[in-house]
Structure 1
Amino acid sequence: MSNRLKKICVFLVAIAMLASLAIGCNKTETTTKGENAGKDTTSSDTADKDSTPRNETLYFNGQQWGAINDWNPLSSNSNNALGVTQKDSSRTLTYETLYMYNMLDGKMYPLLASGDPVWNDNQTTLTIKINPDAKWWDGTPVTADDVAYTWDVNVKYESAAGADYSNYIDSIKAQDASTVVISAKLKDGKTINPLKVLEYIPRQFVMQKAYLQKVEQRNGNDATKMKTDKMDDLVASGPYKPYVANDQKVVFQRVDDYWGKAASMWGKLPVPKYIAHNMYKDNAAGDVAFKAGEVDVSQQFISDVPSMIAGGKISTYLPEAPYNLGATMPTAWFNLEKPGLDQVAVRKAIAIATDYDQIIKTAMSGQSASFKDVPRSIMNTTPGEQALVDQAALKTVQWTGNDVEGAKKLLDQAGIKDTDNDGIREYKGQKLSFKAECPSGWSDWNASLEIVAAAGKAIGIDIQTYFPDANTFYDDLSNQNFDIAMWSPSAAGISNPWTRAFQLMSSSYNSVKTQMIGNFG
């Protein structure tokens, strides 16, 4: 087997679901103190600043778990779901990207940019114009220099984005104040990967050059300090500023002179004056608040969606199960640095022994497409990606799960046996004993890993579940301090499904010491 294949650190338990997005129908016009009455949050609000008018506040749950760490796009562990999330569809409440990606039609739309990005004839350079209306919060214009300096800083201080995209982008330069030219890295005169070049522009936040220089000065141009700076004095361009951030909640306040109200962009301000996200200890506590109308938009697992719909409490994106678009695939990832998990037979045995139907039925409460309807692969369940799959060609390498006897046979053939008859197999004299982790309170993920652990026990592999708080989990994942972890690969994006395959299988991520996006092996 090639070294590349040996480095694949993932087996696709591929539950293939997107956290259910539901919008509450209950309305209330009263003013509340953080909506804490009758609800289980980490603590109660005390500051007057925490009071926001209910009829001006949009409440979320299910995205933010635990206090945020920073407002720093250079950081690999901001734990700032609404404010600093740079993914395939980056969240642009505070910082903004050049473009936005729409997974419903697979197209990019300008945000800080104006018009479409333009490749030259041989696809070696990409030219982008900046919207002349785009402004920073301090009133200064967003310029091509800001875009270029953002790139330079990410590369200079080796952020996760800088380490990744510098393999595909040679430079980003300001041709003039409003024109950005991205030069691709070439091999034999051809762009190495035009998809990765395109992926950068709806994903990477643009930061103000003047502010970055200020942060560099106070940190003495030290890379570690730059990536751990809190940046709570941020200057950004988005429609909302940080208002409250503690271990109880995160609240954003609308920027009333936001540039996006210009006719060239949205033409008006967003309606909510405040966007608030309370911290709930688990999904159950979040559900209580959602049912009570204290949460308007829920992006967490909800166990009783059908009854809530029937009761007129909520609406969902899709009217019937699975109620959501399966744009991402929460999946069990293996750390190949752990003895035993570096063996293909062990990983595959766990994969084929796992009862996926049980995961969908119980852990997911039916909120995932079945394996029968959508045979699993690295393609998500959206129609666009499924149209790319030749299911007949994949049939011989797919499995439906719950094949305990097949898993035992596979391990026996690999010589991985229980030599002392204690119920746990050994590999090179060491018992196959591992921890499988995900954040506490993520009830669907918790239940899924319990089913994975049960599969391990059935085939002689000891898998103990471990559910730390979210911040501890993020630290474990980003520093590769885990055995088995449940996490999601790249979702719907301009470069997918290619990027997802790359993240799952490429050894390029092996040398990145701190990251949460790629092959952990």
Structure 2
Amino acid sequence: MKRFFLLALFAVVLTTVIFADVVYKRDETLYAGGGLWAPPSNWNPITPWNAVTGTVGLIYETLYGYDPLKDELIPWLAESGKWTSKNSFEIKLRKGVTWHDGMPFTSKDVKFTLELAKKIPEISYSYLWNWIAKVDTPDDYTVVFTFSSPRYHEWNYQLYQLPIIPEHIWSKMSKDEILTGANEKAIGTGPYMPETYSDDRMVYLRNDNWWGNKIFGQPKPKRIVYLRVLSNNVALGMIMKGELDISNFFLPGVPTLKKTYSDIHTWFAKEPYMLSDNTAFLFINTTKKPLNDPNLRRAMAYAIDPNIICRTVFEGQVLPSNPVGFLPIKGWMKYYPENAVKQFGFKYDPKIAKDLLDKAGYKDINKDGYREAPDGSKFKVSIIVPFGWTDWMESIKLIASQLRAVGINAEAQFPDFSKYWEDLTSGNFDMAINNFNSQMSVSPWTMFNWLFNSNFDKYMYNGNFGRYNNPKLFDLITQLNSTPMEDIAANKKIVEQIAEIFLKDMPAIPLWYNGMWFQASTQVWKNWPSEKNPYAYPVTWGGRWQTGGVLMLIGITSK
């Protein structure tokens, strides 16, 4: 704790920011950081994982937004939408929406966006055509989606994920331009337009003709300067000096500094300070002996104490997870499987961990302090996280020591990120922490679909890194997706069955909720969202502006 505090103070003294030659009016400019890790080079909404943060949400918009605080889909480019039958969803588009070049936005753009992925199967969302039968446009402002097999949870997710692109521009592009082009002169319908960029920043200029001004209100910053800040401590120094208005970094030392610096704003005034945004899981390689034994995996779940990690590593800025990894948000907790958790759930209890290991035949036969497998063989497990991810590095050190305390020989290892990702996706690991697709969403289906991805391949890029194979569980997740979301009872019944299998087999252990890291300076901009003023989810990460970031820009004020 003291080390973090001293580093932060040191950063305040030494931090210097080299601004561009152009000086923007300070009370019209928002400086942001936490979602730009490389020089800006891509504004292609077809490849949003490569695009500069803001490409989706600020430039290109989605049919709906999503408010995770209220668990509400917000009509955006769509004015309304409804299921007209079991297999048909009708959307009415807003009239008067124009692209940045003045051309009208119509149903043809929506149809083109979807059908482009049918024409070019390499597009990431082309899989939607596995269950979309056709897209019809009866008029310029109506779109009718007909499904061969409706997937209700997934569809609600896509409504606020899929950016709509202009037909009159993208229909003239080559396949290579669509799939790999930088799209530097991006033209969308959104509240901001790309103005300029350099190695250390992306600058957005407000679109004063944005259609949403009359409906939602005009965003307050005339410009957003999104900075590439490569050190958490430098970011903290910039927040304290008012050079950074909002940070979506994990910043160590914030709990201590908030007691001294009144200009540092967080969601909660006290612990945990941060909203819970995603769940960190300990993935276990179920293809390796003895980790393929669910008895060993359940024992490890009892042996790990996330509370210590939350208090010491994260300084009370995060919360320990519940036994199934459900984020504490309305959209998920309405399906929470209380019965399965009560019957099969776990909590930190090293005595139970030892008893489970004893009963399963894991005993210290040679008296070296570590248990052997039931067949008498020695074993040692490693836990990996990327080098430089200091919070996770400290966490797995604690986890390894907790496992050793119950007789499991465990060690923490820190490969560089490329090696970590290669080993994780190829299945060349024992245990690893990951949270890449457990984030807040409209439905816990997204988490289950990631944890238990059934599309086995040489590289598991889309989850299920431990290669857990359970056809019954996979079928249940498909059933969940195929159940209308408003039928809470039916969904919860399926979730209870999923949770029972999950908790009995424990192929991954939920540990803690990674925070929606949010620190803001009140020196220039005020009225930031908070627990007492929860008007927007305070996120500026790539692909997440439509889940609160734009509404935050509308709500803040420089007066």
TM-score, scaled relative to structure 1? 0.74
In structure 2, distance between residues paired with 1:247 and 1:435: 35
In structure 2, distance between residues paired with 1:195 and 1:203: 13
Could you tell me which of 208, 212, 237 is aligned with 1:260?
212
What is the identity, as a one-letter code, of the residue corresponding to 1:65? Answer: W
In structure 2, distance between residues paired with 1:427 and 1:93: 57
The structure-2 alpha-carbon separation of the partners of 1:351 and 1:61, relative to structure 1 and needing over 3 Å to count, comes to farther
Displacement after TM superposition at 1:124 (Å) = 1.1
What is the identity, as a one-letter code, of the residue corresponding to 2:452? Answer: M
Tell whether 2:44 aligns with 1:72.
Answer: yes
Could you tell me which of 140, 150, 155 is aligned with 1:197?
155
What is the identity, as a one-letter code, of the residue corresponding to 1:448? Answer: S
Q: Paired residue for 1:5? A: none
The structure-2 alpha-carbon separation of the partners of 1:432 and 1:297, relative to structure 1 and needing over 3 Å to count, comes to same
Tell whether 2:445 aligns with 1:498.
Answer: yes
The answer to whether the 8 A contact 2:15-2:238 is kept is yes
Tell whether 2:239 aligns with 1:290.
Answer: yes
Task: Select between 401-410 and 242-251 the one with higher mean Cα deviation.
Answer: 401-410
Q: For residues 113-132 of structure 1, what are the alpha-carbon distances to aligned partners after superposition, in whole Å with 9 as ceiling and x for unaligned?
A: 12x20211x32111112212
The structure-2 alpha-carbon separation of the partners of 1:386 and 1:257, relative to structure 1 and needing over 3 Å to count, comes to closer
The structure-2 alpha-carbon separation of the partners of 1:388 and 1:433, relative to structure 1 and needing over 3 Å to count, comes to closer
Q: Paired residue for 1:106? A: 71
Tell whether 2:281 aligns with 1:331.
Answer: yes
Tell whether 2:463 aligns with 1:487.
Answer: no
Q: What residue ranges of structure 2 are gaps of 5+ in the alignment? A: 1-11, 468-559
Q: Paired residue for 1:466? A: 414
Q: For residues 186-238 of structure 1, what are the alpha-carbon distances to aligned partners after superposition, in whole Å with 9 as ceiling and x for unaligned?
A: 3xxxx3x2222222111111112233333335x2xxxxx74433222322221
Q: Paired residue for 1:48? A: 21
Q: Paired residue for 2:220? A: 271
What is the identity, as a one-letter code, of the residue corresponding to 1:464? Answer: A
What is the identity, as a one-letter code, of the residue corresponding to 1:290? Answer: I
In structure 1, distance between residues paired with 2:365 and 2:16: 46
RMSD: 3.8
The structure-2 alpha-carbon separation of the partners of 1:409 and 1:109, relative to structure 1 and needing over 3 Å to count, comes to closer
In structure 1, distance between residues paired with 2:462 and 2:31: 28
In structure 2, distance between residues paired with 1:157 and 1:249: 33
Displacement after TM superposition at 1:182 (Å) = 1.1
Q: For residues 341-371 of structure 1, what are the alpha-carbon distances to aligned partners after superposition, in whole Å with 9 as ceiling and x for unaligned?
A: 5554554444332221111111221123356
* 3-state secondary structure, aligned to 2:155: helix
Q: For residues 130-168 of structure 1, what are the alpha-carbon distances to aligned partners after superposition, in whole Å with 9 as ceiling and x for unaligned?
A: 2122221221112212112211223433433332x3344
Pairwise mapping of residues 234-245 of structure 1 onto structure 2 (< 5 A)? 234-245=186-197
The structure-2 alpha-carbon separation of the partners of 1:514 and 1:355, relative to structure 1 and needing over 3 Å to count, comes to closer
Tell whether 2:346 aligns with 1:399.
Answer: yes
Aligned residues: 451
The answer to whether the 8 A contact 2:194-2:205 is kept is yes
The answer to whether the 8 A contact 2:58-2:191 is kept is yes
In structure 1, distance between residues paired with 2:203 and 2:244: 13
Q: Paired residue for 2:15? A: 39
Displacement after TM superposition at 1:101 (Å) = 0.8
The structure-2 alpha-carbon separation of the partners of 1:126 and 1:475, relative to structure 1 and needing over 3 Å to count, comes to same
Pairwise mapping of residues 124-139 of structure 1 onto structure 2 (< 5 A)? 124-139=87-102
* 3-state secondary structure, aligned to 1:166: helix
The structure-2 alpha-carbon separation of the partners of 1:169 and 1:340, relative to structure 1 and needing over 3 Å to count, comes to farther
The structure-2 alpha-carbon separation of the partners of 1:246 and 1:425, relative to structure 1 and needing over 3 Å to count, comes to farther
Could you tell me which of 13, 22, 31 is aligned with 1:59?
31
The answer to whether the 8 A contact 2:371-2:378 is kept is no
TM-score, scaled relative to structure 2? 0.69
Could you tell me which of 367, 384, 389 is aligned with 1:436?
384
In structure 1, distance between residues paired with 2:423 and 2:168: 33
Task: Select between 496-505 and 129-138 the one with higher mean Cα deviation.
Answer: 496-505
Displacement after TM superposition at 1:99 (Å) = 0.6
Q: Paired residue for 1:15? A: none
The structure-2 alpha-carbon separation of the partners of 1:242 and 1:431, relative to structure 1 and needing over 3 Å to count, comes to farther
Tell whether 2:61 aligns with 1:96.
Answer: yes
Q: What residue ranges of structure 1 are gaps of 5+ in the alignment? A: 1-35, 85-91, 220-224
* 3-state secondary structure, aligned to 2:113: helix
Q: Paired residue for 1:179? A: 142
The answer to whether the 8 A contact 2:299-2:352 is kept is no
Could you tell me which of 310, 327, 334 is aligned with 1:360?
310
The structure-2 alpha-carbon separation of the partners of 1:499 and 1:179, relative to structure 1 and needing over 3 Å to count, comes to same
What is the identity, as a one-letter code, of the residue corresponding to 2:193? Answer: K
Displacement after TM superposition at 1:402 (Å) = 5.8
Q: Paired residue for 1:160? A: 124
Q: Paired residue for 2:327? A: 380
* 3-state secondary structure, aligned to 2:384: strand
The structure-2 alpha-carbon separation of the partners of 1:293 and 1:357, relative to structure 1 and needing over 3 Å to count, comes to same
The answer to whether the 8 A contact 1:100-1:111 is kept is yes
In structure 2, distance between residues paired with 1:48 and 1:492: 39
In structure 1, distance between residues paired with 2:291 and 2:113: 39
Task: Select between 165-174 and 205-214 the one with higher mean Cα deviation.
Answer: 165-174
